[in-house]
Amino acid sequence: MLTAIAAVVGLAVGSFLGTLALRLPRGLPVVGGRSVCPHCGHRLTAPELVPLASWFLQRGRCRACGARLSIFYPAIELAAALVAAICINLSPAAWGVLACLAGWAALAVLARVVVGARTL
Ligand SMILES: [Zn+2]
């Protein structure tokens, strides 16, 4: 049960890490700015913001313009969920939480490198 909760938290953290990686280099607000389709500017609704699930339910495409959305979005959310699940599974105590935070930090750096290397 703890692993499942950690994975769900990891999905949300992964979504935030993706937002950080995309917005910080462009000088966009990390908190408060609405998420939009990078192709048409469509403001994403709540069902379109559910980590991992919305990308798969929409088959990787924007609901408004039909443009293909990068695999980066579900990949970073899934990676953060796996980091959380594995770390909490290895140690549900403080060490597991610290390992999880370190893993997410490493994931943020990796995401920044990926975003810097290509256009999403
Ligand atoms: Zn769109």
Boundaries of every domain in the chain: 2-117
What is the 108 CA–ligand 1 centroid distance (Å)?
Answer: 25
Tell me the residues surrounding ligand 1 (ion) with CB < 5 Å. 37, 39-40, 42, 62, 64-65, 67
What is the 38 CA–ligand 1 centroid distance (Å)?
Answer: 7
What is the 120 CA–ligand 1 centroid distance (Å)?
Answer: 13
Report the run of H or E that residue 87 belongs to, with start and end.
helix 72-90
Best CA proximity match to 77, nearest among 119, 49, 42, 113: 49
51 contacts 12 by C-beta, under 8 angstroms: yes
Best CA proximity match to 15, nearest among 42, 39, 44: 44
Name residues of the chain where pLDDT drops below 70: 117-120
Structure confidence at residue 120 (pLDDT): 58
CB atoms within 10 A of CB 117: 7
Structure confidence at residue 117 (pLDDT): 63
